[in-house]
């Protein structure tokens, strides 16, 4: 009898807590295309796998009449569950409860589940939908954020950290997602900014809408804060599931293995993708898809710095990462943003032991006052650092141009690629034939009776001598000049034999990369 009474009391308490901020607040959330916090967790995880903790946590604030307010779960839902059958830790801020604002107990719930993730060595997924630091709780809410940032940093490179922005993420709150590995945004729902439009107007007199300041497109395309963009929450959850299928659960595990493919069943169409005119652009993603299992390629940071393409695919069922210049955008040059994008991606792959395949076709670093003043030296150094530091298997294929600093930076042997292959179309030189001929034959061209004719002649001469893979191959900087249709086979072998790669690195606490 006593158990029955206690059970019914528990049921009542649970029902009360599960109501969140109540039906009105939930309706408001739904009206703008948002799911509730619990619905989001359930939609992401495997069916019926979610276990919630700390449902009965209460806030401890007293000021500003807070002691008279009840905030179910203190505005955040935390727990564990599975994704593709494997464990994850997860939390979702509940905007219906005090705008998902972060008070001390709210932060304690988040840090507790983060501690679990680190101990259990499983990914942590955070769904952000919050007005930021709970103003009534003053320094305690700031302390809460500090505790979260500290844990984000401790967990970095140990377990994958995913941030899903499904509402406002304002003020210093943005720095937790910024410290994590992958940030997901949804059109018209996600808003991230340090200071909102009102503050900007007051302080600087500038006017801007919230969407134009920190909407999903802005972060996916301009700032690069977001790695994945989608049109709806549902699409965002599919992206999360796809990403999680490619990445290891922690830094000591391998990613999931998928069934091996029958290599004979594959059709290669690589030759038809590459234009016959070496000046014509092409979409390097088509080359990647022609190489990998089922042509499945998950692009990371698709909309940001599109002159470099990074993402995950599989070769014979095993995850590999691709870093590839994109000739379709700015001829695939390296610049400030593409160096940042690739540098961070390479470091993630190295931390989680994912082999890196680099496809090269670029004229070098982007020249210009804008780039120089934006710090292309400092930013461009990041990609050099990241490749040199990485000890995972590194395999490079030079498809066409590999000029100047671009040749070195895109994982050449000199940055310790394990294998470098080149297609017969590769051109490896200090610079393009036109530029080179104009410099080294300048006097002959200027003094010639017919300078244009001589220039053409000299360009052709230079091209014949240097614009090919054979000079580099003669020095052993290229391990093999290969037929494009053989690329998959050769990559598979290179990855296979690199399975037990070990590299001794000099003792250090940590390096000092050009942040």
Q: List interacting residues with ligand HXC (CB under 6 A).
A: 98-99, 101, 131-135, 142, 145, 168, 170-173, 196
Shortest reach from residue 100's CB to ligand HXC, in Å: 7
Residue ranges of E strands in 104-201: 124-130, 161-170, 182-186, 191-193
For the bound state, the minimum distance from the C-beta of residue 62 to ligand HXC, rounded and expressed in Å, comes to: 15
Burial class (CB within 10 angstroms; exposed 0-12, middle 13-18, buried 19+) of 221:
middle
Minimum distance, C-beta of residue 120 to ligand HXC, in the bound complex (Å): 27
In the three-class reduction of DSSP (H, G, I as helix; E, B as strand; rest coil), residue 220 is classed as: helix
CB of 348 to ligand HXC, least distance (A): 24
Q: Which residue's CB is nearer to ligand HXC, number 73 or number 343? A: 73
Report how far apart, in Å, the C-alpha atoms of 209 and of each of 128, 197, 394 are. Answer: 20, 6, 44
Pairwise CA distance, residues 116 & 120, whole Å:
6
For ligand HXC, the closer of residues 211 and 444 by Cβ is 211
In whole angstroms, how close is the CB of 151 to ligand HXC at the nearest point? 14
Q: Which helix (H) or strand (E) holds 106?
A: helix 104-120
Shortest gap between Cβ of 34 and ligand HXC (angstroms)? 10
What is the rounded CA–CA span in Å between residue 56 and residue 336? 48
Q: Give the nearest distance from C-beta 152 to ligand HXC in angstroms.
A: 12
Q: Is the separation of the CB atoms in 192 and 210 below 8 Å?
A: no
Secondary structure letter of residue 218 according to DSSP = I
Nearest to 330 by CA among 302, 305, 359: 305
Residue closer to ligand HXC, measured from CB, 145 or 462: 145
Q: How far apart are CA 332 and CA 305, in angstroms?
A: 10
The least CB distance from residue 442 to ligand HXC, in Å, is 57
User: Closest Cα partner for 218 from 243, 195, 187?
Assistant: 187
If one counts every other C-beta atom within 10 angstroms of the C-beta of residue 242, the result is 13
Q: Which is nearer to ligand HXC, 60 or 430 (CB)?
A: 60
Give, for 462, the enclosing helix (H) or strand (E).
helix 451-466
- Provide, rounded to whole angstroms, the least separation between the CB of residue 204 and ligand HXC: 16
Q: Give CA–CA dist 301/304, Å, rounded.
A: 5
Judged by beta carbon, residue 170 or residue 330, the one nearer ligand HXC is 170
Residue 36 or 412: the one with the smaller Cβ distance to ligand HXC is 36
Q: How far is the CB of 144 from ligand HXC (least distance, A)?
A: 8
Nearer to ligand HXC, 134 or 458 (CB): 134
Residue 215 or 327: the one with the smaller Cβ distance to ligand HXC is 215
Q: Confirm if 221 and 303 have CB atoms less than 8 A apart.
A: yes
What is the closest distance, in whole angstroms, from the C-beta atom of residue 101 to ligand HXC in the complex?
4
Distance of CA 371 to the CA centre of its chain: 23
b/e sequence 486-510, b meaning 16+ C-beta within 10 Å: ebbebbbebbeeeeeeeeeeeeeee
Cα 120 to Cα 44, 177, 264: the distances in Å are 20, 21, 41
Nearer to ligand HXC (CB atom), residue 73 or residue 79: 73
Rounded Cα distance, 394 and 286, in Å = 21
Nearer to ligand HXC (CB atom), residue 20 or residue 433: 20
Beta pairing partners, 189: none
CB nearer to ligand HXC: give 197 or 513: 197
In angstroms, rounded to a whole number, what is the distance separating the alpha carbons of residues 462 and 79?
64
């Amino acid at each position: 009898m006593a158990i029955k009474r206690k059970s019914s009391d528990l049921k009542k308490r649970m029902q009360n807590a599960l109501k969140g901020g109540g039906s009105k607040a939930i309706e408001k959330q739904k009206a703008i295309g948002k799911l509730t916090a619990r619905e989001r967790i359930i939609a992401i995880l495997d069916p019926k796998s979610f276990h919630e903790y700390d449902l009965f946590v209460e806030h401890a604030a007293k000021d500003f009449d807070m002691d008279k307010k009840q905030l179910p779960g203190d505005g955040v839902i935390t727990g564990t569950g599975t994704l593709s059958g494997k464990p994850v830790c997860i939390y979702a801020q509940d905007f219906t409860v005090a705008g998902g604002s972060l008070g001390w107990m709210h932060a304690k719930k988040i840090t507790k589940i983060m501690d679990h993730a680190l101990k259990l060595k499983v990914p942590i997924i955070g769904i952000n939908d919050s007005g930021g630091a709970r103003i009534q709780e003053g320094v305690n809410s700031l302390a809460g954020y500090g505790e979260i940032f500290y844990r984000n940093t401790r967990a970095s490179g140990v377990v994958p950290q995913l941030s899903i922005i499904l509402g406002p993420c304002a003020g210093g709150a943005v720095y937790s997602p910024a410290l994590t590995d992958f940030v997901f945004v949804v059109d018209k729902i996600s808003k991230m900014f340090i200071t909102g439009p009102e503050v900007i107007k007051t302080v600087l007199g500038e006017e801007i809408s919230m969407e134009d300041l920190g909407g999903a497109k802005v972060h996916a395309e301009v700032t690069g804060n977001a790695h994945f963009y989608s049109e709806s929450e549902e699409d965002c959850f599919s992206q999360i599931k796809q990403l999680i299928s490619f990445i290891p659960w922690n830094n000591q595990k391998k990613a999931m293995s998928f069934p091996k493919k029958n290599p004979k069943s594959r059709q290669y169409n690589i030759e038809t993708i590459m234009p016959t005119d070496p000046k014509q652009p092409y979409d390097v993603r088509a080359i990647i898809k022609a190489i990998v299992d089922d042509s499945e390629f998950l692009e990371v940071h698709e909309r940001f710095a599109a002159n470099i393409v990074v993402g995950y695919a599989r070769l014979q069922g095993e995850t590999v990462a691709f870093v590839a210049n994109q000739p379709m955008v700015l001829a695939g040059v390296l610049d400030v943003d593409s160096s940042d994008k690739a540098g961070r991606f390479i470091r993630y792959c190295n931390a989680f032991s994912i082999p890196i395949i680099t496809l090269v076709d670029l004229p070098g670093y982007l020249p210009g006052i804008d780039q120089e003043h934006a710090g292309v030296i400092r930013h461009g150094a990041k990609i050099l650092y990241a490749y040199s530091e990485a000890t995972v298997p590194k395999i490079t294929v030079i498809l066409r141009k590999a000029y100047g600093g671009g040749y070195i930076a895109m994982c050449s042997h000199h940055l310790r690629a394990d294998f470098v292959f080149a297609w017969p179309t590769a051109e490896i030189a200090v610079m393009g034939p036109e530029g080179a001929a104009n410099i080294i034959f300048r006097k002959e061209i200027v003094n010639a009776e017919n300078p244009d004719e001589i220039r053409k002649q000299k360009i052709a001469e230079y091209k014949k001598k240097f614009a090919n893979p054979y000079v580099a191959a003669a020095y052993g900087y290229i391990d093999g000049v290969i037929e494009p249709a053989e690329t998959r086979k050769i990559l598979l072998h290179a990855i296979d034999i690199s399975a037990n790669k070990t590299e001794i690195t000099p003792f250090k606490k940590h390096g000092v990369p050009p942040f």
